[in-house]
Amino acid sequence: MCGIVGYLGNKNASEVILNGLSKLEYRGYDSAGIAVNTGSCLDIRKKSGRLAILADDVTKIKMDGTLGIGHTRWATHGEPTDVNAHPHFSENKEIAIVHNGIIENYLELKEELTHKYGVKFLTQTDSEVVAHLVDKFYKEEKDLLEAVKNTVKKLRGAFALLIIAKDRPDEIVAVRQDSPLVAGVAEGEVVFASDVSAILEYTRDIFYLDNGEIFYSKAGKNQIFDFDGNKIDKESVYVDLSLEAASKGGYDYFMEKEIYEQPRVIAETIERRLDENGDIKLDNIYISKEDLDNINKIYIIACGTAYHAGLLGKYAIEKLVKVPVIADIASEFRYSDPMIDKNTLVILVSQSGETADTLSVLREAEQKGARVLSITNVVGSSIARESHDVFYTWAGPEISVASTKAYTTQIVSLYMIALDFAIKKGTITKEYYRDMIDKLRGVSKKVEKVLDKKDEYREIAKKFIKSQSAFYIGRGVDSGLAMEGALKLKEISYVHAEAFSAGELKHGPIALLEEGTPVIAIATQSKLFEKMVSNIQEVKARGAYVVAIAQEGNDLVSKTANDVIFVPQEDDLIVPILAVVPMQLIAFYVSVLRGLDVDKPRNLAKSVTVE
């Protein structure tokens, strides 16, 4: 969601901060701001809209100083206006803060500050209370670190904070509680950010702050404390991540680049988990046959695209491991009083590893005694650190808000976990196990073949650009895949799209069909192919324009659909990895042809770190 960057060192702070914030634009935001300690005052600039508007203002009127904080805000409390943008400051502008997360008790604190201390609030935000609280304690303590320690004890909720003071030009304080924050250190410098991608240009020595930690930097010296003021000894981590990986690499859009990276990242996710014999070796997952024998139920919990990957994982685990699996949305699951105990395995899927609802499920599941296995793309993320077992997808930085390569690597991860569990339990043969591993290893080459047909997908996309709605239908595992196809279209092209199990059409949804309504019919499952052909005939008879996705050789579908996209033949379980790629590119081209902001669709954020 929101992005944070802070800097203390010997460079121009505004340049470092604006550069860092530009690396975080993918997170989604509607305003931006910066505060720099000039030595005589806190120079604060805030603008609604894109970061470029703020950068233009800073360029026109230069900001001098080597200490500063910046923020890109995605509105939760208060409209996206200049006033509500961060940084927030105390009445006398002695203190400035930036904040990610939500202060749950802000109304209570605001009332106390207003009636007891006569504070006048300027904004509608929850974050402003933090600036006034720090200011109140700073006036009493005359010590910025102590003022922050006293402030955090009064806060409830999720917060990553950076705090600076007018008369402390060589001090900055950072706080982390349930909202990501990292600190990068170099000789005489410290750079803070909500994502490591904003720091790597300056240093690769990174401190990943944990919940309840305060990072204090003064004149090049750094210390870490807990909320009670106790010192914490912590080592930095060297992050070996290419800056080039976060660039567009010659493509016009990050989403386009990330779609075309899928063959490589799928191969990496698989090959890194195979030993010298070609068997699956799950690093950081220590679930034995005895553990599996005691598990009587598995939940797969996620949000958005990750949830759609979970639907395919459910299908694979039930088919191979023969254990009941329930896939659910994190925001609903955590309030449904789920039946979790020590015989439950909870698998969490989150690209960022910081998804707020999924993180809450993790903590509740562990309290109830369940084992938690997480699948995430971000090393050192909250979900990764707090889970019992971790499977890292090797997708690399995913900048576009609409997830593509993270989704396909999540599917691969779930399939590898299913195969590992199944061979341990003895529910599949060694021959089947080997055959499926070989097929997974070959899938990246087949994805390349699917990507070669981009001109075909662009022509199909032209049929969608004037449509108000579209249908996606499938059966079996294709039903879950249809949900991801529909999500991709609506989130980046703003075409209303819905996914339906094809067998359910006659039970209501078919009434929505009109002449020319685009329908993408996914017909990759051999046992259900004939039934899908019948469903295609049903929608075609109601005037729909049908694009079918089928395996090569299933030519019968050409007699009913208007257009057919053929993908290479593959096992029914694995073919969805191939079939999703055309849907990603069709959605991409519809967005491009409509002239929309492909990488940063309206109202959306990459990492949803609030409920």
Distance, CA of 336 to CA of 225 (rounded, Å): 37
Torsion angles phi and psi, residue 195, rounded to 5: -150, 135
Burial category of 10 from C-beta neighbours within 10 Å (exposed 0-12, middle 13-18, buried 19 and up): exposed
Cα→Cα distances 575→149, 178, 442, 445, 567, Å: 54, 38, 11, 13, 8
> By three-state DSSP, how is residue 218 classified?
strand
DSSP letter for each residue of 166-186: TT-TTEEEEEEESS--EEEEE
SS3 at position 383: helix
Amino acid at 47: K
Contact 150, 157 (CB under 8 A): no
405-425 vs 262-271: helix axis angle to the nearest 10? Answer: 30
Which residues, 6 or more positions from 561, have their beta carbon under 8 angstroms from its beta carbon? 521, 536, 540, 546, 547, 548
| 76/101 Cα distance (integer angstroms) | 9
Task: Name the DSSP class of 4.
Answer: E
Compute φ and ψ for 247, nearest 5 degrees. Answer: -95, 175
Whether 606 is catalytic is yes
Q: What percent of the residues of the chain are helix, what percent strand, and what percent coil, each to the nearest 5? A: 40, 25, 35
Q: Is 98 helix (H, G, I), strand (E, B) or coil?
A: strand
Choosing from 405, 488, 600, 606, the catalytic residue is 606
Strand partners, 231: 225
* 313: enclosing H helix or E strand: helix 304-321
How far from chain centre, in Å, is Cα 99?
Answer: 19
Name every residue whose Cβ is closer than 8 Å to that of residue 310 and which is 6 or more positions away in sequence. Answer: 300, 301, 302, 327, 347, 349, 410, 414
Residue 303 annotated in active site: no
Catalytic residue (one of 2, 23, 314, 424): 2
The answer to whether the beta carbons of residues 110 and 104 sit under 8 Å apart is: no
The whole-angstrom separation of Cα 160 and Cα 145 is 15
Q: Which residues of 358-381 are buried (b: 16+ CB within 10 A; e: fewer)?
A: bbbbbeebbeeebbbbbbbbbbbb
Angle subtended at Cα 538 by Cα 537 and Cα 544, rounded to the nearest 5 degrees:
85
Show which residues are catalytic. 2, 606
